[in-house]
Chains A and B, each alone.
Chain A
Amino acid sequence: MSDVLLEIKDLHAGIEGREILQGVDLCIRRGEVHAIMGPNGAGKSTLSAVLAGRPDYKVSSGTVVYDGRDLLAMAPEERSWAGIFLSFQYPVEIPGVSITNFMKAALNARRKAAGEPELKPAEFLKLLKEKMAFVQMKGEFAKREVNVGFSGGEKKRNEIFQMAMLEPVLSILDETDSGLDVDALRIVADGVNRLRSPQTSAIVITHYQRLLEYIVPDVVHVLKNGRIVATGGAELVQQIETEGYDSISG
C-alpha cells in the first residue's frame, strides 16, 4: 500500500465550456489533512465537484489517481464505495426521504458492491444512534426528511453525521464553516478531528482561517485563478489573514 492516497496532475476542468481549473497539481498522503484556501471564484468548489464526480463538470485534461485507481473513470457512487466523501457546501434537500432510509440505502449499496450482506436492522440502528450522538443529534433527527427545513448548522452537522456513518478514507470538506455559528462550528470540527487517523486523509476547503483554528492542517495550499500558487504550513494561513490573498502572487 503506497502512502500516497491522492495524486492530481495538471488537472484542467470546468463547467458549461468555461475552464475553471487550469492545471492543478496536488499530492495527499495517508493520514494528512490538507487545507485549500483561496478567494471566491478561485476554483475551490470546482475542485471538490470534480473529485466527487459531479456530472455537469467536465475534465478536459490531467489525471487523478486515488488509491492506485483512475478516479476520473469512476461513477460518483463508485467513488463513495472506494471511500471518498464530499461534505457539500450547500447540502441538498430530499423531500420524502427520511435520514434513516437515506443512510440505510447508502450503507447497504456499499455493502452490496463489496459483496457483503445487508446490515441487520438492529446493527443499523445501533450504528445510527452512535453516530447521531457523535454530532449531538437527537432521536427525532433520524425520522426527518433529509435536510428539509434544517437550519444551516443542522445541515452541516448532518453532513458530518453522514461522514461518520460512511467512515471515508478521503473526506473533502467544502466550505463546511460557511454559515455556522461558533457552537455548530465546534461540533463539526470535533467530529472531523475524531475521525482523523493515520489511514485517512482530508481536504479542508475554506475561504477563512477560522475553521483551521479547529481543524489544524498538515499542509496549506492557496488556490488562485484555477491553480495552486503557494504551498506551505500554518505560516501561510497567518499571511493570508494579515495581508490577504493579494499578497500571494499567482
Chain B
Amino acid sequence: MDSVYVIGRDAVPSLLRLGAGEALRMTLVVPEGESCKLSLEVDLDGPGASLDLAGASLSSGSEQVDINVVVRHNVPGCRSEQLFKSVAGGSSRVAFDGLVYVARDAVRTVAHQQNHSLLLSESAVAESRPQLEIYADDVECSHGATTGYLNPEELFYMRSRGIPEEVARQMQIEAFLAPVMQRAGFENQDTL
C-alpha cells in the first residue's frame, strides 16, 4: 500500500494497524499556508510488518505545524522508517514529536527516525522531540535530528554563477525537501 496525504486536501487517519507481513508506505505533505495538528499512531501488530513514513512541511507565514507520531512495535521482527523534513520561514512554528515504542517481546525490531529542519528566518521556530522507548533486547533503533539555516557559502557559489539570490534559495529549499517530495510525486524537473 502506497499513500500520499496532502494536508488541507486529504483526511489523515489517526490510528493504523499493520498485521503480519503488511507493508505501508505513507507520505504526508503540509503545503505552505496550512496550519495543522496531526496525530498519527501506528501499531505494528504482526511479525514482519513494515512502515515507511515520510513527511514534509513548508511554512512561510504564521503557520503552526504540529506533527505527533507514535509507532508501536508490539511483536518481533517489524520495521519502521521515518523521515520528516520541515522548512520554516516567517514567524511560523513547526513541532515534531515522534515516539518509537518497542514492547518487551518485540525483538529484532528495526526502527529509524530522522527529523531535519531548515529555518529561513530568525523568527521561525522548529522544535524536535524524537523519543525512543525500548523494552526489548536485540533491536536496531536510532533517531537523529538537525536544525539549520541556508548555507551562505552555497548561496554565494550559486550567485557567482549567475543564479539570482531568490532562485538560489528556492533551489536549496527544493533540494532539501526533495527526498520526501519525490515520494509524493512532486518531482523536481530534471531533463536528464
Contact = CB atoms under 8 A, between A and B. Distances in A.
A109 B164 contact: yes
B191 A80 contact: no
A157 B188 CA distance: 26
Contacts of A94: 154, 157-158, 172, 175
B108 to A, nearest CB: 33
B153 interface: yes
A81 B191 CA distance: 24
B135 interface: no
A166 B163 CA distance: 12
Contact of A91 (B157, B163, B164, B189): B157
A237 B3 CA distance: 66
Contacts of A97: 171-172, 175
A95 B175 CA distance: 7
B158 A102 contact: yes
Interface in B117-176: 151-154, 156-165, 167, 171-172, 174-176
Interface string A197-222: 00000000000000000000000000
A75 interface: yes
Interface of A is mostly: helix
A138 to B, nearest CB: 13
Contacts of B179: 96
B125 to A, nearest CB: 24
Contacts of A86: 160
Interface of B is mostly: helix
Nearest to B178: A96
A105 B190 contact: no
A100 B190 contact: yes
A1 B163 CA distance: 27
B152 A80 contact: no
A54 interface: yes
Contacts of B171: 97, 101-102, 105
A75 B159 contact: yes
Number of contact residues on B: which range applies? 20 to 34
A169 interface: no
B192 interface: yes
Contacts of B174: 96
B162 A110 contact: yes
A92 to B, nearest CB: 4
A37 interface: no
A92 B154 contact: yes
Contacts of A166: 161-162
Contact of B162 (A55, A80, A88): A80
Given A94-B175, A96-B178, A100-B191, A77 B156 contact: no
Given A105-B163, A109-B164, A92 B192 contact: no
Interface string A99-128: 011111111011001000000010011000
A102 B156 contact: no
A105 B179 CA distance: 20
Given A79-B160, A92-B153, A97-B171, 10 more contacts: A53-B160, A81-B162, A92-B154, A94-B172, A101-B190, A104-B191, A109-B164, A121-B191, A125-B191, A143-B192
16 contacts: A52-B160, A53-B159, A56-B152, A76-B156, A77-B160, A88-B157, A94-B172, A102-B161, A102-B163, A102-B171, A107-B162, A109-B162, A109-B164, A109-B167, A143-B192, A166-B161
Interface of A: 52-56, 75-77, 79-81, 85-86, 88, 91-98, 100-107, 109-110, 113, 121, 124-125, 142-143, 162, 166
Interface of B: 151-154, 156-165, 167, 171-172, 174-176, 178-179, 188-192
